[in-house]
């Protein structure tokens, strides 16, 4: 079986939506799709709010209640029959999220074994046959891997890698 590395934030789960939820709770308004187009959330907010995104990401519980993208769980479940699936998330920058991520995977992906969870500091240590991720920087070290860039507001300008826009497209390409 080929190994398949799958990212969590902004690939399986809608992290930006949750940041926006927390931002709205604190400041009373959400950022629109247009405001987020082509930029990181932290760069789309006023200077006076600098640092709030990091604060959210390091809050216990933040990563526990992320919404899975439509069909993400169903497709990962099927992929798990066909590939050696590993969930690869660079999680060490926000260590309070580690347990949240494990609990999230336990809840949404009970068909996975904990041995398939790879919460790491830097994905450049990972070699795999296939990878799905929203960050192109996580592909550049791979040798001979097939990569799929999961489309996100921040990566619209990236043109070097094959894209998937949703999990139905992942299913069409990989199942
Ligand atoms: Mg990600």
Whether residues 130 and 151 fall in one domain: yes
14 is catalytic: no
Segment 37-92, tens digit of pLDDT: 999 999 999 999 999 999 999 999 999 999 999 999 999 999 999 999 999 999 99
Angle, helix 72-82 to helix 167-174, in steps of 10 degrees = 20
The kind and range of the H/E element at 150 are strand 146-150
| Structural domains counted in the chain | 2
156 and 85 fall within a common domain: yes
- Confidence category of residue 100, pLDDT binned at 50, 70, 90: very high
Domain region containing 36: 15-64
Q: What is the pLDDT of residue 129?
A: 98
The strand ranges marked E within 42-161 are 84-90, 117-120, 130-133, 146-150
What was the pLDDT predicted at 102?
Answer: 98
Residue 59, pLDDT score: 98
State the distance from the centre of ligand 1 to the C-alpha of 16, rounded, in angstroms. Answer: 10
Task: Find the catalytic residue in 7, 14, 100, 133.
Answer: 7
Q: What is the pTM of this model?
A: 0.97
Per the annotation, the verdict on 134 as an active-site residue is no
What's the CA-to-centroid distance between 17 and ligand 1, angstroms? 13
Mean pLDDT across 87-114: 97
């Amino acid at each position: 079986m080929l190994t398949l590395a799958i990212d969590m934030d902004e690939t399986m789960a809608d992290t930006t939506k949750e940041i926006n939820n927390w931002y709205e709770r604190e400041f009373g308004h959400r950022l629109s799709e247009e405001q987020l187009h082509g930029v990181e959330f932290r760069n789309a907010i006023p200077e006076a709010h600098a640092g709030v995104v990091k604060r959210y990401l390091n809050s216990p519980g933040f990563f526990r209640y992320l919404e899975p993208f439509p069909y993400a769980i169903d497709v990962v479940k099927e992929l798990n029959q066909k590939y050696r699936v590993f969930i690869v998330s660079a999680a060490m920058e926000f260590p309070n999220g580690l347990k949240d991520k494990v609990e999230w995977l336990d809840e949404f992906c009970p068909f996975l074994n904990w041995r398939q969870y790879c919460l790491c500091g830097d994905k450049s240590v990972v070699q795999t046959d296939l990878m799905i991720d929203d960050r192109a920087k996580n592909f550049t070290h791979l040798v001979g891997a097939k990569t799929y860039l999961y489309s996100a507001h921040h990566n619209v300008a990236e043109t070097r890698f094959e894209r998937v826009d949703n999990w139905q497209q992942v299913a069409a390409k990989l199942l």
